[in-house]
Amino acid sequence: MRDTYTCQRHDATTGNQDSEAVSVVIVGAGPTGLTVGNLLGMAGIDTLIVERNASLSDYPKAISLDDEGLRICQALGLESAMSKSILLNISAHYVSAGRLLAKVAPSSKRNGHPLISTFNQPEFETALLEGLKRFECVNVRFQSNVESFEQTDSRVIVTIRTPTGTLQTVTCSYLLACDGGRSTVRQKLNIPMKGTTFAQKWLVIDAISAEDPPPIAMFFCNPGRPAVTVPSPHKGRRWEFMLLPGETEKEMLSKRTYCCPDPASWRFCQFHDYSQNGLYFSLNAS
């Protein structure tokens, strides 16, 4: 990792002015946007990251990380800082009716890292945000929303709503849409979301145990109610249960009592509604 970074800037005004110019504008301060921001900072490219929310997300949405992702963390020079939010080297067991059907336990490290790991997304994003402090040429602005943009032959003109409600114009060479599966930038460009996702909704439970769970992801091959449980850092474990036809978000979130093995080993329960593809509530240490 380099100790110093040279920034190549446009002649930019400050963020408090009505307009400015940077090389790259990144929309979205999630894992993708923050990672790209670090990479651009290492290359010395002046970058502005805009995020519509007031802060980073506190939802542990994504959980799985492969060896290529870990290699990127290493390339960012943040491997040590991010290791605190990562549980390395997970195996997977597929079971049905109490019998083990298959086991996946990769032993190779083709990229120098385990093939299957899990991570805590809020802590992961915090480490990426802290990493941006190394670069004078990368700025992050929360509570800033892209209202519109216009592309010419040589640049992109982006109109941003600032936290005070005023409009600011930012001119850039590249506009990167890192604003998630429901990207407003992609929608404005009429670019469809490629790929598929499950039509079913899932109940997702993130919990903290009194003891470290074994580093095994269990897939329960039950046609009546498919389920999976995955270990996560800091004695965490996630359960996912497919909702059955007729079960609604309101019904599941209105329940305040859930059965779990050894209830004494689990702590305070807090409910969350994550409506994209699942329902989330968390069992957190009190």
The strand order across the sheet containing 116-119 reads: 64-66, 116-119, 86-87
121-125, 151-155, 231-235, 236-240: least confident range = 236-240
Domain edges within the chain:
19-58+125-188, 202-283
Tell me what the pLDDT averaged over the chain comes to: 84
Q: Report the DSSP beta bridge partners of residue 160.
A: 146, 168
Mean pLDDT of 34-43: 97
Give CA–CA dist 99/265, Å, rounded: 26
pLDDT, position 95: 96
The model's pLDDT over 134-167, given as tens digits with 9 standing for 90+, comes to 999 999 999 999 999 999 999 999 999 999 999 9
139-143, 193-197, 253-257: least confident range = 253-257
pLDDT, position 262: 55
Q: How far is CA 127 from the centre of its chain?
A: 12
Give CA–CA dist 240/261, Å, rounded: 15
Angle (nearest 5°) at CA 180 between 167 and 161: 5
Alpha-helix residue ranges (DSSP H) falling in 30-66: 31-42
pLDDT, position 157: 96
Task: Please tell me which residue, 249 or 190, carries the higher pLDDT value.
Answer: 190
Q: What are phi and psi of 239, to 5 degrees?
A: -115, 140
The number of residues in the chain equals 286
Task: Report whether pLDDT(78) > 90.
Answer: yes
pTM, 2 dp: 0.84
The model's pLDDT over 114-126, given as tens digits with 9 standing for 90+, comes to 999 999 999 999 9
Task: Report whether pLDDT(105) > 60.
Answer: yes
51-55, 121-125, 163-167, 237-241: least confident range = 237-241
**What is 19-58+125-188's CATH superfamily?**
FAD/NAD(P)-binding domain (3.50.50.60)
Task: Please tell me which residue, 172 or 60, carries the higher pLDDT value.
Answer: 172
Instruction: Give the number of other CB atoms < 10 A from CB of residue 189.
Output: 12
Task: Report whether pLDDT(66) > 90.
Answer: yes
Angle (nearest 5°) at CA 74 between 73 and 78: 65
The model's pLDDT over 7-27, given as tens digits with 9 standing for 90+, comes to 665 443 344 457 799 999 999
**In this structure, what token pair is assigned to residue 182?**
């429901």
Mean pLDDT of 162-191: 92
Angle (nearest 5°) at CA 21 between 148 and 132: 95
Task: Please tell me which residue, 228 or 248, carries the higher pLDDT value.
Answer: 228
